[in-house]
Amino acid sequence: MTPLPNLASPGPRRVRVDRARGIAASFAAALLATSAAVLGGCGSRADAGIAAEQARSVPPDQAFLERIPDAPMTVAYSGTRHVLLNYAQAGVPSVLAYDEEVFSDGHGQFAIVPGQVTAPAMNQDQAQLFAILQERRDGFFYRFRDFRIRDWRAFLRNWRVTDSGTQETVAGRSTEVLEIRHLRGGPSWYRAWVDPTTALVMRAEEYDGSNMLLSRVEFLTFTLTPDLQGRPLHGDRNPATAFDPHSDTTGSLGFQVKVPTILPPGYQLERSESLSDGTSTWARLGFGDGVDEIFLLQSPVPSTPPPPGTPPEMDVGPRSVRVFQVGPWTVLQAKFSGMRTIVVGKADQQSLLRMLKSAVG
């Protein structure tokens, strides 16, 4: 345990940081798996000026960048992708590598079907469980796992694009190779191979600050306007209900949502919705900077013991914050004033801790 001064509201309480090792984030991932109803955010006049200046810096031949946010939902396609994730578990480097099939009808319906796992080695039962979990979470993966420009104006305020000047073919499509870096620096940066015709990202790589590869997602095969008859496509497996986080949510949710007042630079509130994990109602707030996302989830501590099989990572002491990594994502878990709170994002740990403090303090 490491002391963390002043994380809680002023008073005699002492707060500790518990750096969990080797803990699977199944609970957090399950909560994040349902798709979100997006609520638009707006920037300040100063942000608008920065956005306008950045927009003028985007060459005309890169106008396809503006179509990237909508392309996964408006382009009908199918293909096979290979996913590679490098991460550390209990300080030991590990690799997750697998194939998947992806489908979109161009009208907001999609599906990801997990395929063969090439690393780590799995027996038949492990592979079946992996496939079930991946398929249940495909809504989150489709929207938030991979690199994408998710909000054009926020992207212009926070990110810089560098054209490598090269064109490469990925799965039969000619692509522009771009580097995308945060204007303020950041824990990671991206290289993207973008098809200018469809505005789809055909290959994406994420690197940390030391230029070590964190992830790669790339199409191996690709078909434009495929025959999707009979494919079980969907939009939201578990639809969430949007709400106003600045209103009194006690009547609708059963508890008052606490909205953080301090966010990492460049992030803004984009969505707020409620959802159920089968036993509890959770509020989920989504914050974005145009590319990366931070999720904050809140729910009252149950008055009865959790059912058998409840993931152990939520067994956090009342004055502790548990911190662990899931690939490039940092996960914070805490209990304050009878509320369970989870923060998941790619921002640096101290920024996420300040964000958590501003919500629970």
DSSP assignments along 121-136, one per residue: ---HHHHHHHHHHHHH
Which architecture characterizes domain 2-37+239-360 according to CATH? Answer: 2-Layer Sandwich (3.30)
Report the C-alpha gap between 300 and 336 in whole angstroms: 10
Mean pLDDT of the 24-47 span: 32
- Residue 250 structure tokens: 């006690």
Q: How confident is the model at residue 42 (pLDDT cuts 50, 70, 90)?
A: very low
Q: How confident is the model at residue 317 (pLDDT cuts 50, 70, 90)?
A: low
| pLDDT at position 25 | 38
> Does 59-224 match 2-37+239-360 at the fold level?
no
Q: How confident is the model at residue 47 (pLDDT cuts 50, 70, 90)?
A: very low
Residue 335 CA from chain centroid, whole number: 22
What radius of gyration do the chain's Cα atoms show?
21
Return the ∠ at Cα 24 (arms to 112 and 208), rounded to 5°.
Answer: 75
pLDDT digits 0-9 by tens, 74-122: 999 999 999 999 987 767 888 999 999 999 999 999 999 999 999 999 9
Helix (H/G/I), strand (E/B), else coil: 311: coil
Q: 39-48, 127-136, 174-183: which range is least confident on average? A: 39-48
Domain 59-224, CATH: 2.50.20
Between β-strands 16-19 and 76-89, what pairing exists: parallel, antiparallel or unpaired? unpaired
Residues 6+ apart with CB under 8 A from 195: 170, 173, 174, 175, 201, 202
Domain ranges across the chain:
2-37+239-360, 59-224
Residues 6+ apart with CB under 8 A from 88: 94, 325
Report the C-alpha gap between 285 and 274 in whole angstroms: 9
| pLDDT at position 306 | 62
Report the C-alpha gap between 109 and 233 in whole angstroms: 5
Distances 63 to 60, 67, 248 between C-alpha atoms, Å: 5, 8, 42
Q: How confident is the model at residue 163 (pLDDT cuts 50, 70, 90)?
A: very high
What is the number of residues in the chain? 361
More confidently predicted of 28 and 337: 337
Most confidently predicted of 10-19, 53-62, 211-220, 352-361: 211-220
Helix (H/G/I), strand (E/B), else coil: 235: coil
Q: How confident is the model at residue 34 (pLDDT cuts 50, 70, 90)?
A: very low
**Residue 179 CB neighbours (<10 A):** 15
| Mean pLDDT of the chain, nearest integer | 81
Residue type, 18: D
Q: 14-28, 58-72, 170-184, 286-300: which range is least confident on average? A: 14-28
Alpha-helical runs (H) found in the chain: 26-33, 45-57, 71-74, 124-136, 138-140, 152-158, 250-253, 349-360
**Selection from 143, 117, 98, 133 nearest residue 240 by Cα:** 143
| pLDDT at position 136 | 84
Q: How confident is the model at residue 140 (pLDDT cuts 50, 70, 90)?
A: confident
